[in-house]
Amino acid sequence: MYKKSVQGWLKHLDFMILDVVCLWISFTLAFNMRHGSLDVLANSLYRDMMWSLALMDIVVIFFFDSLKNVLKRGFYQEFVMTVKQTCLITLCSVFYLFTFKEADSYSRLVLGYTAALYLLLSYVLRCLWKNCLRKYFGGAEKRSLLIVTISDIVDTVIDNIKNKNYGDYFVTGVCILDKKAKGRVIDGVTVVADEDDLVEYV
Q: Whole-angstrom Cα distance, residue 14 to residue 1?
A: 9
- Give the 3-state secondary structure of residue 94: helix
Q: Whole-angstrom Cα distance, residue 23 to residue 17?
A: 10
In this prediction, residue 168 carries a pLDDT of: 58
In this prediction, residue 56 carries a pLDDT of: 94
Find all residues with CB under 8 Å of 81, minimum gap 6, and list them: 66, 70, 73
Nearest in space to 126 (alpha carbons), one of 79, 86, 167: 79
Q: Estimate the share of the chain in helix, then strand, then coil, as percent rounded to the nearest 5.
A: 60, 10, 30
Q: Whole-angstrom Cα distance, residue 134 to residue 74?
A: 13
Q: Are 175 and 158 in contact (CB under 8 A)?
A: no
In this prediction, residue 154 carries a pLDDT of: 87
Question: What are the mean pLDDT values of the chain's consecutive 10-residue runs (202 residues total)?
Answer: 46 89 95 90 89 93 86 88 95 90 85 95 94 68 78 85 64 85 84 84 80
In this prediction, residue 139 carries a pLDDT of: 46
